[in-house]
Amino acid sequence: MSDTRWAQAARALRTDADFWSLRIVDEEIVDHAVRNDVVQPLRTQRERGAMLVAWVGAGAGYAASADMSLAGLQAALDIAVQRARASADVSLIDHRAVARHPLSGQYASPNAEHALPTRREWLDRLSHECAAARIDDRIVERTASVQIVHGEQTYLTSDGAQIDQRFRMLMPQMSVAAHEKGDTQVRTLGGDYGTLAQGGIEILDRYGFNGGGARLAHEALHLLAAPNCPSGPRDLLLMPDQMMLQIHESIGHPLELDRILGDERNFAGSSFVKPDMFGSYRYGSNLLNVTFDPELREEAASYAFDDDGTEARKQYLIRDGMLERPLGGALSQQRAQLPGVANSRASSWNRAPIDRMANLNIEPGTSSLEEMIGGIEHGILMRTNTSWSIDDHRNKFQFGCEFGQLIENGVLTQIVKQPNYRGVSASFWRSLSAVGNAATREVFGTSMCGKGEPMQIVRVGHASPPCVFRNVDVFGGAQ
């Protein structure tokens, strides 16, 4: 059905529910890949379905259907209404008190109307970069790939709202592995699944895909020859592709309001953040400014409305180091009586929305990269995540990177391999001493943020400049 026909179908639904909504998701994912100069099988995934939500009295219920006929949608709505009635006496919140925003609108990814290369053209690009990485016999594996996502979502409600959103995302990836004398070193464009963005072919240049094969191969060989990362306290300069993971794990997940309220405790852990911290807790130094920003259109999780129909706009979560608001959608806001953001998001048509990260960004500071390096007497630069571990409260963490370079007396010196660092979220961000300016900020994104039970995998974005942290526990991968 077209958007118009979905609206017609919604008007034909019959129910005595106090409120209902219909969310339709239609998405296609195509993967092109070349590995060691061999074209890999084309992978295509397509899914389409609808989620019906009903509120009856204090209760709410939902049901999903892959049957997109009017009869199929009506049957799902009837089930949702039955479940809403059954939940009315045991609901955590009174849904009659939840604010509804009957807004209509549209959203489209930037350059979504521009044509993309054909499959043959994609494979030519991938094959070229894969071959360009074959610069030495010690290069043992070379892969280049691109994932293309086309998605359409329509949201309609009994209040008369209609929201149409169209997304196109690209995720170019590249990996080069070098091996010698029992040691293997890998360099990638942005770690595993880190180079996701909305838009068109311009995304390749943003992540250095064009010309990346030879560059990554040279870097992998440099790492083979490099010594292991030394251990001990050092100032730490994290580049944007590693800041992405740092933000994600030690700010994003701890600030999810449903997690703070205990919903994830038996599955993916809780949070060291408590409801009474908002408005009074110092999360980081005065230089730390963190925003929820779905308006940065090229970022992976940009949108105009969340999956509960709430209008999305930029909000500060942390301002000048002080914690202001959580990542909580409309239902969690009602439950906790705290302000939140438009981040009720579902992974697909057959999942109900929960509190999720979207675009979670660090706002630029005033320092150039040269100034940050020049201000470090005894430190290390790290880029590109390769491993992570964080405790059940999203507090203590240990992260590893692909590439490190020592900084001595304000100068980049020795490249080192297997660099790692560890810390505690509650104090790590307070050691933030420099934040890069707008010219240094880069936009990254991932398709692999997991949460919920059953598991929901969603796409999130993180934009950040490089950042300097003082006196961090750094150690080599051999320890």
Q: How, if at all, do strands 162-180 and 105-108 pair?
A: parallel
Q: Are residues 22 and 167 in the same domain?
A: yes
Q: Which of 199, 225, 251 is the last residue of a domain?
A: 225
Q: Which of 168, 190, 225 is the last residue of a domain?
A: 225
Q: Are residues 385 and 425 in the same domain?
A: yes
Query: What is the distance of C-alpha 92 from the center of its chain?
Result: 29
Q: Are residues 90 and 169 in the same domain?
A: yes
- Record the tokens describing residue 131, joined without a space: 């071959």
Q: Are residues 385 and 459 in the same domain?
A: yes
Q: CA-based angle 147:203:446, to the nearest 5?
A: 55
Q: Are residues 143 and 289 in the same domain?
A: no
Q: Are residues 466 and 412 in the same domain?
A: yes
CA–CA gap between residue 399 and residue 247 (Å, rounded): 12
Q: Are residues 218 and 182 in the same domain?
A: yes
Provide DSSP, 215-244.
Answer: HHHHHHHHHHHSPBPP-EEEEEEE-HHHHH
Print the domain residue range for 405. 232-476
Task: Write the Ramachandran bin of 37: left for phi over 0, alpha for psi from -120 to 50, otherwise beta.
Answer: left
Q: Are residues 221 and 236 in the same domain?
A: no
Cα distances from 134 to residues 78, 144, 172, 184, 214, in angstroms, run: 60, 12, 19, 16, 8
Q: Are residues 237 and 198 in the same domain?
A: no
Taking only the tens of pLDDT, the chain with its 479 residues reads 456 889 999 999 999 999 999 999 999 999 999 999 999 999 999 999 999 999 999 999 999 999 999 999 999 999 999 999 999 999 989 999 998 888 999 999 999 999 999 999 999 999 999 999 999 999 999 999 999 999 999 999 999 999 999 999 999 999 999 999 999 999 999 998 899 999 999 999 999 999 999 999 999 999 999 999 999 999 999 999 999 999 999 999 999 999 999 998 887 789 999 999 999 999 999 999 999 999 999 999 999 999 999 999 999 999 999 999 999 999 999 999 999 999 999 999 999 999 999 999 999 999 999 999 999 999 999 999 999 999 999 999 999 999 999 999 999 999 999 999 999 998 999 999 999 999 999 999 999 999 998 899 999 999 999 999 999 999 997 54
How many domains is the chain partitioned into structurally?
2
- Side-chain-facing half-sphere of 144: CA atoms under 13 Å: 28
pTM of the model: 0.96
Q: Are residues 57 and 187 in the same domain?
A: yes
CA–CA gap between residue 76 and residue 350 (Å, rounded): 11
Q: Are residues 391 and 264 in the same domain?
A: yes
Q: Are residues 12 and 47 in the same domain?
A: yes
pLDDT tens, position by position, 184-222: 999 999 998 899 999 999 999 999 999 999 999 999 999
For residue 57, the domain's CATH number is 3.30.2290.10
Burial 133-162 (b: 16+ CB within 10 A, else e): bebeebbeebbbbbbbbbbbbbbbbbeebb
Neighbours of 455 (CB within 10 A): 11
